[in-house]
């Protein structure tokens, strides 16, 4: 029979041994109980102070029920009869006190209590109620001292202990667990390889990015394949791209494919209000990663801690953040090349990151995760609609075509919003209209059903949107118009939806046509009403920004020339000096004004020549409130196409004819 050393001698073997160990957490409980006791002990009445002459008057008036006189404190407590309390309500601010004593009075050490109270009783009428007189000594002096001395001492002891623990924690190098706050300990979340169930199958689209990260997976699975030839495994990879494109999901997929532990932490988690916390957390994170190697450490939004050092001094300098960055650089350099730990980081502001962070040996690779293209959007829709009950005839390709510029997160939001829309309409399946309404809600905002426009406002809005649609339809390089709505959404009273081409390079002709479409609404108001209105504020803002970009950045101004003042490195920061002279600044302003005037005159000419068409479109919009591209085509004819597209189509049509004649 095995000997149980924990069993008490002569006791029952089934009996458990309970050991009570001292824990500093008990101090919290004692402190809370002490505060509660003080509050409860002192939660009695709040008596008002009166003079002895007032006490005599109240005594003879029959208002007093009891007087408690403390001999050794020369103080008296007065309790008023309940039926007489209203008489003294003004002394309590109009509120009757809930408990006694109601008044207190102080006297000198020469006060003869027995004689004074005997004289008052003798003066009372025979039929008046007697007043209870209690004279005693106060024996609670020591309890009062204990209340207000022991409690502060306990508080001071707690404060000293907390900061000793905190300093121990901060001085522990790797952020040990000894501190009361554990502020130096890494807040990174660890997902073991069994818990990481995301693979590349769950990541739709992102063909180029997935191909690059697959190499990282191969590094983790077969390190000898590369080290045997003398190669070094990359230490880190930086995922760069707009928000919502799937950078975090891609990092999880890498960990899931490699079947290794996955540490995830946000860049902002490193920085706290205490000095040295960020550096301590970095050390602790890398210590844990080494213990779990091979593994992946993912730092999301690394620009929160990796911003370039030494810039914007006096504006946004942050020594604590820079110290954290220095520690991060040191830890990445200190990694053994073949330790099996790879750092993945994500950001949408790679331009502001410190150059030391991006050099070879730290983040060896930059993987660009761009917005999904047409085919990729269709695949993303397939992933997010797997669990949705959609109509059988629903075409995901149609939705992919109508969501240009949407990120993966935006598409997920569209699918969820479509499901909610269908549920509100008590449908059993989600159809195309639910998805289109979801896109409208996300792009334009929530439909304001309670918004009431005057007939004049509705008429002006209709002509405004008709002006946008007419110019956009007639200009060849402008984005095709999909829908025009007169239903208020968000801050807008009306909206014109475009389906922009997914262009990588924007020509001057495209920018000019797009600017004409932007100002088309304002010009239409001038033609119909004879004066502009405030409804074109957003249009003018975008127009002005595009004009300045053309002049300052794209070199599309004849007078300024082929120069660009764009700062792609972000090195200028908050530099108050401009890279051009005042004369050049004035010239750029004048060029912008001339460009905007040219756009305005061109738009005015188009709408004047096609006044009948855009007026007809406005009337149709007032009638239906929503019109589509088919309606616009009936009024204005087919959408104008660029010259190069017409030439390409004509060449394509000519080739089969030549082939046929040759065959004959």
Q: Which of 272, 301, 465, 591 is catalytic?
A: 465
Print burial letters for 577-603: b (CB count within 10 Å at least 16), e (below 16).
Answer: eeeeeeebeebbeebbeebbeebbebb
Number of other residues whose CB lies within 10 A of the CB of residue 160: 10
Where are the alpha helices (H) located in 565-628, listed in sequence order? 582-609, 611-624
β-pair partners for 628: 483
Q: Which two tokens stand for residue 358?
A: 């991006």
C-alpha neighbours within 13 Å on the C-beta side of residue 86: 1
* Element holding 417 (H helix, E strand): helix 408-424
For the question of residue 465 being annotated catalytic, the response is yes
Backbone phi, psi, residue 171, to 5°: -90, 5
Per the rule left: phi > 0, alpha: psi between -120 and 50, beta: everything else, 570 is left
Pick the closest to residue 443 from 401, 496, 396 (CA basis). Answer: 496
Q: Which residues, in sequence order, are CB contacts of 354 under 8 Å at separation 6+?
A: 306, 307, 308, 309, 325
Q: Which two tokens stand for residue 356?
A: 């030391």
Q: Which three-class secondary structure state does DSSP give residue 49?
A: strand
Number of other residues whose CB lies within 10 A of the CB of residue 327: 20
- Check the CA dihedral 414-420-426-430 and report its sign: positive
Residue with tokens 């030839």: 229
Residue with tokens 């039926």: 83
Where are the alpha helices (H) located in 136-179, listed in sequence order? 141-170
Residues catalogued as catalytic: 465
């Amino acid at each position: 029979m095995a000997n149980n050393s924990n069993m008490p001698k002569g006791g029952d073997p089934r009996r458990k041994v309970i050991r009570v160990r001292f824990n500093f957490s008990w101090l919290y409980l004692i402190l809370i109980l002490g505060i509660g006791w003080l509050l409860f002990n002192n939660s009695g009445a709040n008596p008002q102070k009166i003079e002895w002459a007032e006490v005599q008057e109240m005594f003879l008036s029959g208002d007093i029920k009891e007087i408690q006189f403390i001999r050794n404190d020369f103080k008296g407590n007065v309790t008023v009869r309940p039926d007489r309390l209203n008489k003294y309500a003004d002394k309590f601010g109009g509120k009757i006190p809930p408990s006694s004593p109601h008044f207190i009075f102080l006297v000198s050490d020469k006060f003869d209590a027995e004689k004074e109270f005997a004289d008052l009783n003798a003066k009372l009428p025979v039929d008046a109620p007697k007043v209870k007189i209690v004279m005693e000594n106060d024996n609670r002096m020591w309890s009062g001292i204990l209340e207000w001395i022991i409690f502060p001492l306990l508080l001071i002891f707690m404060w000293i202990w907390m900061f000793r623990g905190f300093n121990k924690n901060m001085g522990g190098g790797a952020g040990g667990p000894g501190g009361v706050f554990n502020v130096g300990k890494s807040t990174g979340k660890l997902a073991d390889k069994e818990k990481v169930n995301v693979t590349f199958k769950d990541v739709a689209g992102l063909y180029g990015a997935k191909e690059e990260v697959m190499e990282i997976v191969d590094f983790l699975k077969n390190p000898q394949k590369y080290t045997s030839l003398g190669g070094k495994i990359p230490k880190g990879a930086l995922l760069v791209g707009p928000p919502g494109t799937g950078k975090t999901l891609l990092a999880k997929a890498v960990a899931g494919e490699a079947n290794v532990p996955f540490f995830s932490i946000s860049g902002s988690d490193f920085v706290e209000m205490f000095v040295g916390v960020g550096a301590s957390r970095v050390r602790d994170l890398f210590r844990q990663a080494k213990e779990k190697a091979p593994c992946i450490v993912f730092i999301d939004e690394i620009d929160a801690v990796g911003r370039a050092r030494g810039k914007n001094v006096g504006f946004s300098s942050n020594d604590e953040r820079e110290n954290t960055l220095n520690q991060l650089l040191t830890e990445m350099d200190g990694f053994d090349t073949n330790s099996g730990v790879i750092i993945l980081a994500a950001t949408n502001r790679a331009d502001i990151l410190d150059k030391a962070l991006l050099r070879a040996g730290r983040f060896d690779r930059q993987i660009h995760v761009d917005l999904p293209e047409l085919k990729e959007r269709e695949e993303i829709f397939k992933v997010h609609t797997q669990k949705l009950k959609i109509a059988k005839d629903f075409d995901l390709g149609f939705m992919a075509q109508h969501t240009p510029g949407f990120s993966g997160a935006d598409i997920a939001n569209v699918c969820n919003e479509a499901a909610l829309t269908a549920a509100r309409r008590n449908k059993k399946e989600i159809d195309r209209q639910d998805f289109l309404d979801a896109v409208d809600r996300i792009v334009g905002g929530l439909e304001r059903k309670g918004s009431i426009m005057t007939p004049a406002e509705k008429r002006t809005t209709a002509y405004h949107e008709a002006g946008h649609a007419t110019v956009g339809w007639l200009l060849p390089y402008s984005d095709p118009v999909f829908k025009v709505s007169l239903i208020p959404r968000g801050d807008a009273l009306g909206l014109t939806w475009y389906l922009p081409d997914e262009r990588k390079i924007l020509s001057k002709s495209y920018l000019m046509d797009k600017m004409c479409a932007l100002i088309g609404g304002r010009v239409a108001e001038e033609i119909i009403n004879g004066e502009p209105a405030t409804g074109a504020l957003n249009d003018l803002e975008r127009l002005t920004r595009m004009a300045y970009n053309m002049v300052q950045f794209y070199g599309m101004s004849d007078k300024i020339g082929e120069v660009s003042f764009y700062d792609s490195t972000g090195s200028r920061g908050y530099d108050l000096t401009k890279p051009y002279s005042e004369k050049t600044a004035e010239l750029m302003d004048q060029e912008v004004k001339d460009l905007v005037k040219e756009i305005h005159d061109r738009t005015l000419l188009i709408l004047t020549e096609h006044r009948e068409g855009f007026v007809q479109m406005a009337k149709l919009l007032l009638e239906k409130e929503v019109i589509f591209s088919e309606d616009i085509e009936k009024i204005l004819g087919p959408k104008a196409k660029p010259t190069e597209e017409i030439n390409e189509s004509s060449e394509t049509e000519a080739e089969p004819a030549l082939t046929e004649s040759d065959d004959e």
